[in-house]
Structure 1
């Protein structure tokens, strides 16, 4: 499915590429749309893959360590915190573009720690975490609104970026987000076994000699980091981290040695589909992919809430 969607995503857009020309381009031939293919269409498709992988993995890691099926970087305010940190640099220190991913990580991590602090006395109960996340998200969004109002003369493409936008990205920007993401990928590979252990209750995990709090903090930080470096480049894309892990679990179960690879595949598939729809549904006008994911992800989130069966008592 992912392969088919990638081919369609490359072919479709405001400038469609016919099958014969696509085959010629893939064979290395120069055609009328060679520049569109190499400098516009292909970078966007690759970025949609990396974005889907990062946001899906971030959601899976947070859901695992918090034991909360509704944990998601967007819902919990982590993406908003990352966006706020990135926006501060973009508006106030535009010459320091290279540190935007680090500023985004700082903002996302600060939001995550605030949520934990508000929820700690309630034993990190799922409903309390979500409510704290919504509250933090609201406050940060208010701060973001104040910032953009005060510096409205410098906004330029910031507003479009905040809605989640994959257009106009260069190979250099894609390389940057991938380079920042690689350390987190390596960490996840090293900690695959620990993810399975953390899925158990704390007593069982401790009996296996695993320092639960340490690994929770490390794995949660990896999830926040992946969400933050992605938001720094593409803006806010909601619900990917929420819906993709659930779809992957339905397909392969809860063993993280299988679940993580399938989450990667499904995350890439979902965002690639969303971006293709965003580029074609009202062509030649292109919608932000964040808007499409919000429209598709909102009903799924409501479906999950209905399935909680008294989540406040869980």
Structure 2
């Protein structure tokens, strides 16, 4: 690894660590470093201890896990589809997970493994729909994105229909549809976190396979890769990452678009550098956005999903114009 990459990784890790520490300290009730240490040593025997263990720690862990998962899922999807405009929120992966969670809420299941596994299943269904449509129609890269947007709208409409027909489901999933961490509980976080950590570990072992797959189908087959099987594995992993994250964080948008683009500019497109940097940078980015969302309008708290949409929407439009300009001059 070059010295520049070491500096990038060190700086990103420091940014992530700093964001996590500030997230533990700052909020409606501020905790000093001394109080944090006392909470760690004395447990829940004091007010700062209860704030730390019941509010700040699960929220910060949720930010870190969801950021790493969504950024890694975005990088994997972009590589598999050979399209840097793809991300879990744009091609309908998050919407599929959201529909599954809404169905669970309508059935009365609001926590535990059933939420995490159902969200994974919904995300996987959305991925399969987009890929199947692309393969059957021979769609171009831009058309794949448009197909994903259509799937996103279709699944979101079904979820909204369920919440209108079953008001209780709408009440249970209201915060979820916006995206945020204000009500994160260990009962949802732990099962989803286990799935995320497992998927991240597997993705990191498959960096070489992802690089070969990004060379194109013909080249990958020439190198002896079973393209269909490998693509399926990566899509399942991306669905697991996005679905598990959505199960407790809600419909956070554009993390899987913003972070991989920034990481690619810093360390290039080689997966053994890109994926770890996406995980670290995504974790720090979401944590910092959540911290800003709860501090900017004190004593009110802005759902972090709104802030990310405000940041991600203009960035997506910028990428569209940039790609159009590149095609014009090529």
- Give deviations 1:46-104, integer Å, cap 9, x for gaps: 11000001111111110011100011111111111111011111112427853222222
Alignment equivalent of 2:201, drawn from 164, 186, 199: 186
Where does residue 116 of structure 1 map in the other structure?
131
- 1:22 deviates by 3.8
Residue 78 in 1 paired to residue 78 in 2? no
Residue 238 in 1 paired to residue 253 in 2? yes
- 1:187 deviates by 2.1
1:16-55 pair list within 5 angstroms = 16-22=30-36, 24-25=38-39, 32-55=47-70
**Aligned mates of 2:110, 2:214 — CA distance in 1:** 43
Residue 213 in 1 paired to residue 228 in 2? yes
**Aligned mates of 2:298, 2:187 — CA distance in 1:** 27
- Give deviations 1:144-176, integer Å, cap 9, x for gaps: 111100011443331111111212323343221
**Aligned mates of 1:310, 1:215 — CA distance in 2:** 33
Where does residue 87 of structure 1 map in the other structure?
102
Length, aligned pairs only? 314
- 1:107 deviates by 1.8
Any conservation in 1 of the 2:39–2:46 contact (CA below 8 Å)? yes
**Aligned mates of 1:46, 1:207 — CA distance in 2:** 43
Any conservation in 1 of the 2:115–2:188 contact (CA below 8 Å)? no
User: Which segments of 5 or more consecutive residues in structure 2 lack a partner in the other structure?
Assistant: 1-14
**Aligned mates of 2:110, 2:116 — CA distance in 1:** 14
- State the Cα RMSD in Å: 2.2
Where does residue 275 of structure 2 map in the other structure?
260
What TM-score do you get using the length of structure 1 for normalisation? 0.92
Residue 61 in 1 paired to residue 62 in 2? no
Any conservation in 2 of the 1:127–1:311 contact (CA below 8 Å)? no
What TM-score do you get using the length of structure 2 for normalisation? 0.88
**Aligned mates of 1:116, 1:59 — CA distance in 2:** 15
**Aligned mates of 1:154, 1:103 — CA distance in 2:** 15
Where does residue 295 of structure 1 map in the other structure?
310
Where does residue 7 of structure 1 map in the other structure?
21
Where does residue 150 of structure 1 map in the other structure?
165
- 1:190 deviates by 2.6
Tell me: CA distance 1:96–1:261, structure 2 relative to 1, closer, same or farther (3 Å): closer
**Aligned mates of 1:207, 1:232 — CA distance in 2:** 39
Tell me: CA distance 1:241–1:95, structure 2 relative to 1, closer, same or farther (3 Å): closer
- 1:185 deviates by 2.2
Any conservation in 2 of the 1:102–1:229 contact (CA below 8 Å)? yes
Any conservation in 2 of the 1:6–1:45 contact (CA below 8 Å)? yes
Residue 202 in 1 paired to residue 217 in 2? yes
Any conservation in 2 of the 1:126–1:312 contact (CA below 8 Å)? no
Tell me: CA distance 1:207–1:157, structure 2 relative to 1, closer, same or farther (3 Å): same
SS at match of 2:324: coil
Residue 105 in 1 paired to residue 120 in 2? yes
Task: Tell me whether 152-161 or 61-70 shows the greater mean CA deviation.
Answer: 152-161
Where does residue 292 of structure 2 map in the other structure?
277
User: Which segments of 5 or more consecutive residues in structure 1 lack a partner in the other structure?
Assistant: none
Any conservation in 2 of the 1:126–1:311 contact (CA below 8 Å)? no
